[in-house]
Structure 1
Amino acid sequence: MNVSLRQLRVFEAVARHLSYTRAAEALHLSQPAVSMQVRQLEDAAGLALFERLGKRIELTEAGRELFHYSRAINRSLQEMEEVLESLKGVNRGRLHLAAASTVNYFAPRLLAAFQQRYPGIALELEITNRESLIQLLQANAVDLVLMGQPPDRVEVEADPFMDNPLVVIAPPEHPLAGVSAIPLARLAEEPFVMREPGSGTRQAMERVFSEHGMTIRQGLQMTRNEAVKQAVRSGLGLSVVSLHTLELELETGRLVILDVAGFPQRRQWYLVYRRGRRLSPAARAFHDFVSTEAIAVAGRVLRSPGVLVTD
């Protein structure tokens, strides 16, 4: 089969986005140029690579197979380019990151500091939930993932880089606000605003109650941290969240942290990547930067007045 690297790169973008328009935008090409490259690749393969379902496109079986190989080829080409660039110094390259939604509260400061040190490295960041992060790791589709508890079902390397304390929050007028050493059994009487199933915070929360033979009285279920905090502020229940999500609320007094026995729950943030993946020079630079600088750059909330976290 006679195919070009350009055709594989264009096909991989269309397959990743499942959109000719979005692939064209990502590649800075016109949509007709993208469509032409895909048609030429289909002619060379002798098989259809996409099928149209209404307004959507989906990969055919042949398309899924080719997507697997084209992704591996494009990763190898990118790695080759970055290794060659590294011989000139870590000043160029591309870095594809993914992070848990909670990381988004400190990720901008972290990326801004990294970009100042390495202005020539182009950054791409996906913010998503835990299940999507695991899928990205399974597909070896990103350089590094910033997340909480590393997955069990994927072979990964995981390096902790910063504490991620989980705390119980309430509105400031709640009867338990200001009470010392609240027993966990008392919390079991309160409704809790929960993240969606599969969320790392929810899993940790359920584990704490389960270890003490208790069940959580579940109230509302939310898919975003901001919605969880808003629900707690409105008096719809308590919740357990990462301390890193609370900087604004603690500064303004909109929420308080309850003094609960056994809390804060000690967790870690991890830099995670697929085992066997060779980190590019840009990825290695980011890994080393986060490992040494994350606490100073992103950990300001941990030192905020009134935060009940001790070493």
Structure 2
Amino acid sequence: MGRDETKITLRQLEIFLAAVEHRSFAKAARQLGLTASAVSMQMQNLGSELGVPLFEKDGRSIRPTAIATAVLPYAERMTATLNEAVEVVRGLQGEMDNRVRVAMVSTARNFGPHLVQAFQQTHPDTEVHVSIHNRRGVIAALENRQIDIALMGRTPRRVEVEAHRFAAHPYVLVASPKHPLTRFRKIHRSDLVAHKFLVREPGSGTRMVHEHFFQSAELPLPPAQEMDSNANIKQAVMANMGLAFISAHTIALELAAGKLCLLDVKGMPELRDWYVLHPKGAVLGRAAQMFRDFVSQEGPGFMQEFFEALPLPT
């Protein structure tokens, strides 16, 4: 294949990345608004242009070949470069000056929309698009430049970002009012190992707090049931199905209603941080810059006032 003869297109590389991510032509097609046959045909054309097949059958899924795996980082680099070029052009044209795309992790849904509303009250001419995802979803949106700004706890490792801390983020241990541990004070970590816990998926902030709490004391992890959202965990704890580490910023209403109890445990609450961040080197529009600066400057006071009635063990 001569370099001047290549017919590889950026669209083919986008389809290739989606097919690798989903391990399915059908799922890639749904993401891209194409038909599965169109995706398959484009991957055949790309493979023919490279002179090698790019995917193999793997049961009902597909698997990238060794060549496809080798090509993957180059395809990611080329599409990322194109996306950055488009963002630069849009920024220069002023198309993004009054719009900011904000994503927040699901733990932030209890205060994030109120923080956005406070920003819009002082900047009524801006247009704010808000999305809420789990941690993996927010990181993926950062990687793909689908958002401008993110509100999250722990900063991502696989994406270079510029992060500004704007508030402390306390994690606490909660139980049903019916749980026997609510009668005790200054509970030791070792006393908790025998009790059942409810946890989020691996990689989530609350899961990391849970595992660090026991592993840092060289204690075995207690029995645990995995659940896919903080809302489900709260309901299960209220039903006395187990204990859970959870962000204190997600349980104010349940505490006020007497549906949940904070356990008085040595070493808790565990304080993490809230960050407002964006991809390092990203060209931010005027609205995105204003939102970042607003959260950095006004966020600490907002959070203190918003959660001032939250009772935390000392």
Report the TM-score when normalising by structure 2: 0.72
Q: Which moved more, 1:15-24 or 1:291-300?
A: 291-300
Match of 1:308 in 2: 312
String of CA shifts for 1:237-264, please: whole Å, max 9, x gaps: 4332111221442343311223445433
String of CA shifts for 1:14-52, please: whole Å, max 9, x gaps: 333333333333333344433333222222111112222
**Alignment map for 1:173-252 (pairs within 5 Å):** 173-174=178-179, 177=182, 182-185=185-188, 188=191, 191-195=195-199, 198-208=203-213, 215=219, 218-224=222-228, 225-252=230-257
String of CA shifts for 1:115-141, please: whole Å, max 9, x gaps: 98653x777764246xx888x59x955
Please state how far the C-alpha of 1:156 moved relative to its aligned partner. Answer: 5.7
String of CA shifts for 1:196-248, please: whole Å, max 9, x gaps: 5554334434545566x584772433233334323322224433211122144
- Asked if the contact 1:178–1:259 (Cα under 8 Å) also holds between the matched residues in 2, the reply is no
Q: Which amino acid aligns with 2:14?
A: R
Note the residue ranges of structure 1 that are not aligned, 5 or more in a row: none
1:74 to 60, 79, 83: 79
Say if 2:73 is the partner of 1:56: no
String of CA shifts for 1:288-309, please: whole Å, max 9, x gaps: 4543465677777623x45237
- Asked if the contact 2:182–2:263 (Cα under 8 Å) also holds between the matched residues in 1, the reply is yes
- Asked if the contact 2:171–2:269 (Cα under 8 Å) also holds between the matched residues in 1, the reply is yes
2:9 to 4, 10, 14: 4
Number of equivalences: 298
Report the TM-score when normalising by structure 1: 0.72
Say if 2:53 is the partner of 1:41: no
Q: Which amino acid aligns with 2:68?
A: G
Match of 2:3 in 1: none
Q: Distance in 1 between matches of 2:44 and 2:64?
A: 14
Say if 2:130 is the partner of 1:127: no
Q: Which amino acid aligns with 1:280?
A: V
Q: Distance in 2 between matches of 1:214 and 1:145?
A: 34
**Aligned-pair identity (%):** 34
- The 1:36/1:219 distance shift into structure 2, 3 A limit, reads closer
Q: Distance in 2 between matches of 1:33 and 1:94?
A: 33
- Asked if the contact 1:188–1:214 (Cα under 8 Å) also holds between the matched residues in 2, the reply is no
SS at match of 1:307: coil
String of CA shifts for 1:177-208, please: whole Å, max 9, x gaps: 487xx213288257251425554334434545
